């Protein structure tokens, strides 16, 4: 099968497409013929692991995982003997437990993050569901977002931000979405209560107080957000660039019990939350956003675009 692989760390140019062995499903796994997969910032972070000690997990001298990509959509090509929920030919979407989706075939556990693809979305859209939505859902739950709360989603046009706007509305919040001028119309179409252009307005200078500031891109610090929070408000970010400063900040603000920072986490979701996302899509309450699509052979070009930090929603590889 064809797959996008890399054998060394470095810029997007280290990625190339070559023939590799097709994976074989175990008894509780599906073999999925991939029709679409995403390129996201998690892939980019594993291709250039920083700081250096991250390589203890990814591989010291060279990457242990040659094939990146975790989000996918496609058709079931083969099932293990213990699989009961899916049959050959079923259209599915989901997320692998590691990587491997940027290829013609990928194996996933039946009990993992995989579900039937809603008829209302294309393979490209279905492949764009999981990464942003799971990060957003985990963060909103950690912040205990609920009915009537006032929530700011900063970076509302990215993969996590577009998911965060829609999921916060699903949870009953009043949502102020913040993005740049170019993406105002896209973000408005997702149903927030208000959209602000950060090049024209600073939400912290409005004189309003919010229960949650959800920084979906890691470009708005707790220090800047603090003055816009209610006395018991929280700031949460998913960006790994802030991971190293957020833990001590979270501890310090927890002790103060006022205007807290929360560590980024994906522990607030389960594999079966993919069924929630499918149901929201089928009910017309969630729409994955696709910015650009590239053929698998253009994986380096797709990755370069992701690394500009200017994508709207998701970038998809068609396989």
CATH code given to domain 132-262: 3.40.50.720
pLDDT above 60 for 252? no
> How confident is the model over 34-59, as pLDDT tens digits?
999 999 989 999 999 877 888 888 99
Tell me the C-alpha distance between 83 and 224, whole Å: 50
pLDDT of residue 245: 53
Query: Tokens for 138?
Result: 């985990």
Considering the chain, tell me which residue range(s) the CATH 3.40.50.720 domain(s) occupy.
132-262
The answer on pLDDT for 272 being more than 50 is yes
Q: List pLDDT tens digits, range 286-312.
A: 999 999 999 999 999 999 999 998 999
Q: What is the DSSP string of 17-57?
A: EEE-PPP---TTEEEEEEEEEEE-HHHHHHHS-SSGGGHHH
- E strand or H helix that includes residue 294: strand 290-295
**The pLDDT value given to residue 264:** 62
Q: What is the pLDDT of residue 242?
A: 45
Whether pLDDT at 60 is above 80: yes
- Specify the range with the lowest mean pLDDT, choosing from 8-12, 83-87, 123-127, 244-248: 244-248
Looking at the chain, which residues constitute the CATH 3.90.180.10 domain(s)? 2-129+288-318
Average pLDDT over residues 1-7: 98
Query: Is residue 256 very low, low, confident or very high in pLDDT (cuts 50, 70, 90)?
Result: low
pLDDT at res. 286: 98
DSSP H or E segment with residue 234: strand 229-237
Mean pLDDT of 143-155: 96
Mean pLDDT calculated for residue range 226-240: 87
d(CA 111, CA 9): 32
The strand pair at 229-237 and 260-262 is best described as parallel
Q: Does 196 have pLDDT greater than 80?
A: yes
Residue 308 confidence (pLDDT): 94
For position 255, what pLDDT does the model report? 47
Which fold would CATH assign to domain 2-129+288-318?
Answer: Quinone Oxidoreductase; Chain A, domain 1 (3.90.180)
pLDDT at 262: 79
Give mean pLDDT, residues 135-149. 95
* Band of residue 260 on the pLDDT scale cut at 50, 70, 90: confident
**Average pLDDT for the chain:** 92
Residues 6+ apart with CB under 8 A from 245: none
Q: Is the pLDDT of residue 250 over 60?
A: no
Which pLDDT score, from 0 to 100, does residue 54 have?
81
**What are the tens digits of pLDDT across the range 69-122?**
999 999 999 999 999 999 999 999 999 988 999 999 999 999 999 999 999 999
């Amino acid at each position: 099968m064809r797959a996008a692989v890399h054998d060394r760390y470095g810029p997007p140019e280290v990625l190339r497409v070559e023939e590799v062995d097709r994976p074989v499903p175990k008894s509780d796994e599906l073999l999925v013929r991939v029709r679409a997969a995403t390129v996201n910032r998690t892939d980019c972070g594993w291709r250039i692991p920083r700081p250096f000690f991250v390589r203890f997990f990814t591989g010291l001298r060279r990457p242990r995982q040659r094939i990146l990509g975790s989000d996918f959509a496609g058709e079931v090509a083969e099932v293990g003997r213990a699989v009961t929920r899916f049959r050959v030919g079923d259209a599915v979407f989901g997320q692998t437990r590691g990587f491997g989706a940027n290829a013609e075939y990928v194996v996933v556990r039946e009990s993992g993050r995989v579900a039937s693809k809603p008829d209302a979305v294309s393979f490209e859209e279905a492949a764009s569901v999981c990464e942003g939505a799971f990060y957003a859902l985990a963060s909103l739950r950690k912040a205990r977002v609920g009915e009537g709360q006032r929530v700011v989603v900063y970076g509302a046009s990215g993969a996590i931000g577009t998911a965060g706007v829609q999921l916060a509305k699903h949870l009953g919040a009043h949502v102020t979405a913040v993005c740049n001028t170019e993406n105002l119309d896209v973000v408005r179409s997702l149903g927030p209560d208000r959209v602000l252009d950060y090049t024209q307005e600073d939400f912290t200078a409005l004189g309003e107080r919010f229960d949650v500031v959800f920084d979906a891109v890691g470009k708005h610090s707790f220090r800047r957000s603090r003055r816009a929070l209610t006395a018991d408000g929280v700031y949460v970010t998913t960006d790994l660039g802030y991971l190293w400063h957020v833990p001590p900040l979270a501890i310090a603000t927890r002790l103060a019990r006022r205007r807290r920072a929360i560590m980024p986490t994906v522990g607030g979701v389960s594999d079966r939350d993919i069924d929630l996302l499918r149901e929201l899509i089928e009910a017309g309450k969630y729409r994955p956003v696709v910015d650009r699509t590239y053929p698998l052979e253009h994986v380096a070009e797709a990755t370069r675009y992701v690394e500009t930090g200017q994508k709207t929603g998701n970038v998809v590889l068609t396989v």
